[in-house]
Amino acid sequence: MSETVKPQQKPTAKGGIMRNLPLIAVLAVALIGAVTLKDYLSFDTLRDNREALVAFRDQNFGAMLLMFMGIYVVIVAFSLPGAAVASVTGGFLFGLAAGTFANVVAATIGATGIFLAARWGLGEYLNAKIENAGGRVQSLKNALRQNEIEVLLLLRLVPAVPFFVANLLPALVGVRLRNFLWTTAVGIVPGGIVFTWIGVGLGEVFDRGETPDLSLLWEPHVIGPILGLCVLAALPIVIKAIRPAQSTNESDEAE
CB 230: neighbour CB atoms within 10 A? Answer: 19
Report pLDDT for 5: 43
Domain ranges of the chain: 23-240
The pLDDT tens digits of the residues spanning 115-173 come to 998 888 766 656 666 556 555 555 656 667 778 888 899 889 887 788 888 888 888 88
Model pTM score: 0.77
Query: Of 129 and 111, which is predicted with more confidence?
Result: 111
The CA–CA distances, whole Å, from 112 to 117, 136, 164, 185 equal 9, 29, 11, 10
Considering 60-64, 138-142, 172-176, the range whose residues carry the highest mean pLDDT is 60-64
Report the SS3 class of residue 240: helix
DSSP category for residue 119:
I
pLDDT of 245 higher than 80: no
Q: What is the mean pLDDT of residues 203-223?
A: 75
- Residues 196 and 93: their CA atoms lie apart, in Å, by 10
